[in-house]
Chains A and B, each alone.
Chain A
Amino acid sequence: MGKKWRAIAAVIGGLVLSLLLPAPALAHGVNIQYSSDTEITILARYDSGEPMAGAQVAVYAPDDPSTPWLTGICDDEGYFSFTPDVSIPGTWDVQVRLAGHGGMLHIPVGGDSTATSGGVGGYSYLQLGLMAACVIWGSIGTAFYFRRRRPA
């Protein structure tokens, strides 16, 4: 290896090292973090407008509709807050009950708020794959058909 290449290797090595080594701690430093989680707040009231204070709340994630993902109680004004796991997109269901009466709230979370099952436009991924295969097969067949008819 010549001097020129050794110099280039030394410069690159120095740059990599400076990126890998931790920066020195500074006095009066601050640690500011943020989270992109979105909190959802529900307000539960009777039709009369009276808050459902102390109502039982059960939150169900889209991937397990049978088991509550979270349970809790509404505050005195009927409010209840939670932060859904955005990695589980779909419709989150929130059940609120008090004294023999209750209701279910459906909250879309994530990119495709209406998606509740795999597939697009009512078709499963298997059906979509088969349709795509049929289109490709048809195109190739058509191409071969016209190629054969071309005069020699």
Chain B
Amino acid sequence: MAGPFNWLSQILSISLFNLRTLPQRLGSSGTAVFGIAGVVAVMVSVLSIAEGILRTMQNSASPDNVIVLRSGATSEMMSWVLGDDVRVIAEAPGLARDADGALASPELFVIVTLQKKSTGTDANVPLRGVTRTAPLVRDDFELVEGRMFEWGRNEVVVGRGAQLEFAGLEIGSSISVAKEEWPVVGVFEADGGLAETEIWVDALVLQPAYQRGNSYQAVYAKLESPDAFPSFKDALTSDPRLTVSPMRETEYYAEQSAVLYNLITGLGTLVAVIMGLGAIFGALNTMYTAVSARAREIATLRALGFHSGPVIVSVLTESLLLALVGGSIGAVLAWLAFDGFRAATLNWASFSQVAFAFEVSPALLARGIIFALVIGLVGGLFPAVRAARQPVSEALREQ
């Protein structure tokens, strides 16, 4: 009856015995820990870029908002919607309304070339032409410095992210558009969303500057509730006057970030897997060394009647412990170095810059440590089996 208990106590005693000898093998154990820490640090840092971009896109989307683009267009940049169409869209059922009418915001989306602060080179910064409904559709729009531009005047407000990344966007400076200087009068935030990389101006000011007549590029609108989407969509797609395709904001932004997210995640994972292989070889080396150094002790234990199972478990325990320490060090290093680190990159889908902060999320930290444990498991398994299989008589005779 003492079987299982006996096993457990055997595992415990051998493991403790192993761990107590760890300080004697600091050099080789330290090597394994260091190797695994390096792998996890690189993996977590690279993936935090992808997480940061994803978070920015998710923060941009509101579940009860929709975006209407011309059919066939994959982003605002490529779309156009005529002024007459906007009126038709605003009459569609399912939209939230206030005293002035439907919460539908026709917008222009163009780019203006500014200098990136970090490199001093040109960057495509999104310039959005908006109407009075834009801040109503976006609940999270909040002016944090200066004032809103005056409607009808050549003034702009800039997003917090844009102001941090690009030169010449302080309040009081101005941007050159269409041979005019447009002063910056305010700074806004939008819950860390995409809009924070943008510059906003009155659409009626932007239209003539970019020779757009009475046309827009997209209509953002707020629904009464997320469930109202099907009836809204049906109304637009069945209307013969329109050739537009409405999408939920959540879907639109997921699509916008897909290419960038998949690219970075794919490359990051590939690099992590290849590096992980290298770390597995390092861990194997360490554990083989550890096992061969203790060959006689292990054989003695087995001669005393310890089973091979507990021997295997004890070696695995040691390697997993080393991996856990290494993985945690790597994850913490990545978190200290990169969490919240700000950068901007080109979003291919909109051909314009998106500013974001690296995000070392708890989930990502957990993934890093799990990856480390996998390395430790593989790196410990083969040496453990070898230790258990070694014939007792031979091992005892060694050296």
Pairing of A with B: no
